[in-house]
Amino acid sequence: MINILQKARDLKHRRYLESLNAQRAKQAQNIRSSQGFKNIYSSLSSTFTIPFLPNGHKIWAIAMVKNEADIIEQTVTHLFHQGIDAALIVDNDSTDDTYEVLERLSEKYPIYLGRDREKAYYQSEKMTWLADQVVNVGAEWVIPFDADEFWYGVRQPLGTLLRKKTSSVLYAPIYNQFPLEQGSWALDSQPHAEGKICFRAFEGAVIEMGNHSVLRPGLPANGEIAILHRPWRSFEQFKRKLSEGAQSLSLTDIAAEKGYHWRALGQYSDQELEDVWNKLISGEDVPDALAWRPTGTLRPLKAEVPGSWSDLGISNQDL
């Protein structure tokens, strides 16, 4: 009798998952077929310039970057040390040395470097387009990353983990790293409200804005990957990033609640931003509009970029 009940419950759960997967695939299809998404997506073939992508790489990281010369070498090198196979990165008209840094790194690592001439902040459409390019050349896993993120496998290197996984989507909690007055770094013990995802290649998937979720069959699995995030590195970078984010969003018709922190702080004067920055590095409360701000206890970090996730001292139960 118990076995019969268990089989009935298992069947009901399986049917529920099948229904949920069908809904998520349909959602992605509906977004891709919507006129707004189609118009932007189709225009990217003329505003993106990317090199030839070879077949053979299985774990691809994808990103669009702008003015990240101070950190991009660290994050990209870290990804390759974590065992990814290749990266497709497009530069959005940087005015610093970001492109040149990546060009130099591409001599050492399989980085396929392109240009992004569309200034508007169409992140979902752009990241989905980039994902499609690597899926078309045989990617098995896609890691949508930002230039200020250090991705880790929690118990083993990220590449080693992904080569073993049969999951569809993996969810990565984000732990923010903040600068202190004396030039050191501290880790926020409280994970950020929203994490990021990487996913097994699926034709027709849609990466949603912020890389926080992906529309495709499969529920995200937790506890196996995580991200160390360094959103603010200096006052000049802080001020520039907020200004650029607000400007890029202003070129779109994206709903006001999307990217609210870029819009809000992008309107601050230089003096107001300097006041926020000084509060941030001294551990004082900062405006809620600053999405990337400490929310838990700050713990000094021994190493600026720990070699493994275990070096951060975060319990696996917290992930």
Q: What distance in Å separates the CA atoms of residue 165 and residue 49, rounded to the nearest whole number?
A: 32
Residues written for the chain: 319
Residue 318 CB partners (closer than 8 Å, separation 6+) = 191
CA atoms of 3 and 23, how far apart (whole Å): 30
For 86-135, write each residue's pLDDT tens digit.
Answer: 999 999 999 999 999 999 999 999 999 999 999 888 999 999 999 999 99
Give the pair of three-digit tokens for residue 136: 């078309």
Render pLDDT for 241-292 as a digit per residue (tens, 0 to 9).
Answer: 888 876 776 667 766 556 666 666 777 888 988 999 999 998 888 888 888 9
Quote the CA–CA distance of 20 and 222 in Å, as a whole number.
Answer: 18
Beta-bridged to residue 112, according to DSSP, are 88
pTM for this structure?
0.90
**Cβ-based neighbour number of residue 8 at 10 Å:** 10
Tens-place pLDDT, residues 12-51: 657 766 788 889 999 999 999 999 999 999 999 999 999 9
- Per-residue pLDDT, 18: 72
Beta-carbon contacts of 21 under 8 Å, excluding residues fewer than 6 positions away, are: 217, 218
* CATH fold label, 24-229: Spore Coat Polysaccharide Biosynthesis Protein SpsA; Chain A (3.90.550)
**C-alpha span between 208 and 134 (Å, rounded):** 17
- Token pair recorded at residue 129: 């387009």
| Upper half-sphere CA count for residue 199 (Cβ side, 13 Å) | 28
User: pLDDT digits over 127-183, tens only?
Assistant: 999 999 999 999 999 999 999 999 999 999 999 999 999 999 999 999 999 998 877
